[in-house]
Amino acid sequence: MSAQPTISSEPVHVGGPYWEELSVGDRYVEFPAMTLTEGHAALHQSIVGDRLRLALDATLSDKVAGRRLAHPMLVCDVSIGQSTLPTQRVIGNLFYRRLMLRRLPAIGDTLTSTTEIVALKRNTIKEGRKPTGLAVLHIVTTDQQDRAILDYWRCAMLPISDVDASQPHADDLDRFPADLPADALQATLDGIDLGVYRSEVPGTHFADLDAPTTWALDGGDSVTAAPELVRLSLNLAKAHSDPGSHHSGQRLVYGGHTIGVAASHLTKVLPNLVTIIGWHHCNHLGPVFEGDVLRSTVHLEGTEALPGGGGLVTLRVEVSAQRSDGALDGVLDWRLVGAMA
């Protein structure tokens, strides 16, 4: 009888770095690329309620864009998921800054992301709390032709395992701008025929809007299928799948899930929103848990007419989560730019 192979009694633990194991300049490029499919689009729509016409109506999308556009929130979720190698131990995401869609991807496009650590800041230790630090990541997403798709910063809070071994980083996190580059916004709409959209779709368009306007959406949305969206986007953050990984003892709903529901609320208010071009900022004000009911108020802050008709709209969405005990807590402050025909 042949000898049985010896199995090591010391397993190698796989779970992502702690905060003190990160260094400014670290780059992560090995995450799997992902080809957007009709299946991804359908599952994403069923979870967060995507309502953009160009993502739902292939015939309209072909007339307006010459291709079947993917929903921008699906694109963002895939990109964010691809950035989670260094943040698998995340406690929570604090903010996104200057998320810019450089091009509107289509179903069938393949997305690849590069993530770089650009700033680190150790938090002050609070009594009764485990030590933590903040990491700002710069994420760049491209397609199969190496065309720029997304470019943004994300800030994650991570645990510190060894306070004595960690460095007292104190980088200035306020240096990351919260305003989109005005000269680049129109370029995202290259190849999008807003005139065709306007003629094909009845109802309210850019010329009918007056800023400022505020809408309070009547009715909320229950957060369901949270782990399914995490798996769809390949997100590795353990807090979103393992309740034991978060101090609350509950699974923390992935922030993009909350943003996706907010986007669906936005298109209930503006059903003819053509697309989302970018986010000035998106701040997570508090945690969201499965079963919470999300309620939104939408503000139209400004408009900018485009030379060929239609225009850009600056919007702010404030989202609150109604808990099982009836409490209503602010959870999201999202300021973005969209296009109207």
Beta-ladder partners of 215:
298
Is 1 inside any structural domain? no
Of 306 and 243, more confident: 306
The pLDDT value given to residue 49:
96
pLDDT of residue 2: 61
Read off the CATH number of the domain in which 258 is found: 3.10.129.10
Tell me whether strands 27-28 and 311-322 are parallel, antiparallel or unpaired.
unpaired
- The predicted model gives 2-23 an average pLDDT of 80
pLDDT over 90 at 149, yes or no: yes
Does the residue 2 lie in any domain?
no
Q: What's the pLDDT at 14?
A: 82
Contacts of 227 (CB under 8 A, 6+ apart): 240, 241, 251
| Cβ-proximal residues to 239 (8 Å cutoff; 6+ apart), any chain | 90, 91, 92, 245, 246, 251, 252
Is residue 187 included in any domain, yes or no?
no
**If we measure between CA atoms, which residue out of 281, 293, 299, 280 comes closest to residue 320?**
293
Confidence category of residue 99, pLDDT binned at 50, 70, 90: very high
Q: For position 3, what pLDDT does the model report?
A: 63
Q: Tell me, yes or no, whether 8 lies in a domain.
A: no
Do the Cβ atoms of 254 and 92 come closer than 8 Å? no
Task: Give me the number of domains the chain comprises.
Answer: 1
Confidence of residue 127 (pLDDT cuts 50, 70, 90): confident
Q: What is the pLDDT of residue 1?
A: 54
| 186 found inside a domain | no
Within a domain: 94: yes
Residue span of the structural domain in which 165 resides? 19-179+192-340
* Residue 143 lies inside a defined structural domain of this protein: yes
Distance, in Å, from the CA atom of 162 to the CA atom of 3, rounded to the nearest integer, reads 41
pTM: 0.94
pLDDT above 70 (res 339):
yes
* Confidence (pLDDT) at 10: 82
pLDDT-derived band of residue 11, with 50, 70 and 90 as boundaries? confident
Torsion over CA: 222, 225, 226, 232 (sign): negative
Establish if 201 belongs to a structural domain. Answer: yes
Q: Give per-residue pLDDT as tens, 152-198.
A: 999 999 999 988 877 788 899 999 998 999 888 999 999 999 999 99
Q: What is the pLDDT of residue 182?
A: 85
| Contact assessment for residue 277 and residue 312, using Cβ atoms and an 8 Å cutoff | yes
Confidence tier at 7 by pLDDT (50, 70, 90):
low
Read off the pLDDT of residues 235-260 as tens digits, 9 standing for 90 and up: 999 999 998 877 778 899 999 999 99
pLDDT (0 to 100) of residue 8: 62
The per-residue pLDDT of the chain, averaged, comes to: 94
